[in-house]
């Protein structure tokens, strides 16, 4: 499915930026510019540079590293497009980064990806990883959730059927709540991007999940996921919550995720990729494998940029802190770090 993932991500990124190829300025890439500005508030001249993003495009939770041959092709394409550089986002530290490093790409450690691997079963694994008290608290949250909310899981058939427009509108409304919360100015899962995803090779794997108030019928939370029954994996892409509509005493994110674990396990899912960021929260929800994700950047004949250098240094410092905090709570990282820059 690697080819399907790459093709879908390239198309989605291109549609988002209204281009025929996956090209954008740093300032227009939400998953770059928001973390970069959080690291270094000052804007840099580099932000106006356009880069070619050959794979992953921040839509894939992580991007397989390219081969030497793929890098040669990417450089030729970038040259033809007249861009300032090439960006491979979210490459796992445990992957073979040799071709990227030999080609002079610079790593920017950016996110931590969290994965729940089912070993003995969801219930047994949660009990063992969380401890008895925390596991019981999660069970209580879910029982309370089930009294007031229903977990609706809509597959590709629903999204393409007569209910599709209504489901996508509800998803868009709730996802926008998440964009507002984190200050994103670009809706990277707007209607056109969602239509592109559904018409791609990944379309059959899409799930739109909602927490629906049993009394009012109002959807208050959404999770967008991909499920691959062949690899027995579910990937959680994005979520959104209308916090003003959530009843007091509820944590719909934790409770719905617990419900989704049960839904997936009943259908043979053995790996739940919980996505990027909030890794300590996800550790407390059963994640037992963590991956450092770095953006690999190559700029062509670019002038030195002090702000970009500052972003790079700050990214390494933040990742060191994040990993230390995660390790202190028992999180196991597949491989701690790419080679840091001195």
- In 10 A of CB 326, how many CB atoms? 20
The helix, strand and coil proportions of the chain, stated in percent and rounded to the nearest 5, come to 45, 25, 30
Handedness of CA 44, 48, 51, 56 (dihedral sign): positive
Quick one: pLDDT at residue 3? 59
What is the model's pLDDT at position 342? 43
* Tokens representing residue 264 in the block: 């997936």
Instruction: Give the SS3 label for residue 224.
Output: strand
- Report the largest interatomic distance among the alpha carbons of the chain, rounded to a whole angstrom: 61
Q: What would the pLDDT profile of 49-92 be if each residue is shown by its tens digit?
A: 999 999 999 999 999 999 999 999 999 999 999 999 999 999 99
Can you list the alpha helix ranges (DSSP code H) found in 108-249?
A: 122-130, 132-148, 156-160, 164-182, 191-198
Question: Tokens 């926008």 appear where?
Answer: 176
Is this prediction's pTM over 0.85? yes
Give the pLDDT confidence score for residue 325 in this predicted structure.
93
The token duo for 290 is 């963590």
- 116 and 283 Cβ atoms separated by less than 8 Å: no
- C-alpha–C-alpha distance, residues 204 and 202, integer Å: 6
Domains, the chain: 2-112+291-328 (no CATH), 119-269 (3.40.630.30)
Parallel/antiparallel/unpaired status of strands 271-276 and 233-241: parallel
What local confidence, expressed as pLDDT, does residue 4 receive?
A: 83
Strand order in the sheet with 219-228: 23-25, 50-52, 85-92, 289-299, 106-117, 271-276, 233-241, 219-228, 206-213, 149-154
Q: What is the pLDDT along the chain (342 residues), one digit of tens a residue?
A: 465 899 999 999 999 999 999 999 999 999 999 999 999 998 888 999 999 999 999 999 999 999 999 999 999 999 999 999 999 999 999 878 899 999 999 999 999 999 999 999 999 999 999 999 999 999 999 999 999 999 999 999 999 999 999 999 999 999 999 999 887 778 999 999 999 999 999 999 999 999 999 999 999 999 999 999 999 999 999 999 999 999 999 999 999 999 999 999 999 999 999 999 999 999 999 999 999 999 999 999 777 789 999 999 999 999 999 999 999 888 777 665 665 554
């Amino acid at each position: 499915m690697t080819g399907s993932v790459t093709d879908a991500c390239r198309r989605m990124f291109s549609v988002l930026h209204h281009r025929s190829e996956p090209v954008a300025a740093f300032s227009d890439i939400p998953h770059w510019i928001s973390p970069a500005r959080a690291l270094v508030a000052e804007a840099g001249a580099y932000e106006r540079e356009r880069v070619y993003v050959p794979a992953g495009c921040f839509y894939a939770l992580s991007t397989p590293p390219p081969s030497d041959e793929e890098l040669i092709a990417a450089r030729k394409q970038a040259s033809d497009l007249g861009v300032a550089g090439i960006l491979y986002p979210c490459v796992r530290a445990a992957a073979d980064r040799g071709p990227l490093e030999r080609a002079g790409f610079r790593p920017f450690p950016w996110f931590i990806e969290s994965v729940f691997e089912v070993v003995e079963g969801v219930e047994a694994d949660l009990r063992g990883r969380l401890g008895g008290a925390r596991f019981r608290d999660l069970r209580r949250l879910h029982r309370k959730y089930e009294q007031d909310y229903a977990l609706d899981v809509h597959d590709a058939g629903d999204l393409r059927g007569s209910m599709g427009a209504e489901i996508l509108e509800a998803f868009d409304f709730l996802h926008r709540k998440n964009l507002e919360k984190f200050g994103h100015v670009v809706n990277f899962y707007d209607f056109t991007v969602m239509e592109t995803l559904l018409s791609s090779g990944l379309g059959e794997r899409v799930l739109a999940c909602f927490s629906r108030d049993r009394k009012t019928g109002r959807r208050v939370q959404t999770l967008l996921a991909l499920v691959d029954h062949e690899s027995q994996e579910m990937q959680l892409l994005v979520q959104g919550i209308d916090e003003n509509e959530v009843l007091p005493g509820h944590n719909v994110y934790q409770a719905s995720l617990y419900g989704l674990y049960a839904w997936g396990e009943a259908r043979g899912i053995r790996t739940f990729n919980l996505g990027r960021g909030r890794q300590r929260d996800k550790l407390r929800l059963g994640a037992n494998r963590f991956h450092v994700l770095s953006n690999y950047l190559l700029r062509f004949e670019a002038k030195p940029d002090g702000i970009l250098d500052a972003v790079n240094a700050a990214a390494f410092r933040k990742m060191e802190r994040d990993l230390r905090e995660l390790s202190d709570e028992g999180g196991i990282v597949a491989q701690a770090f790419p080679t840091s820059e001195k």
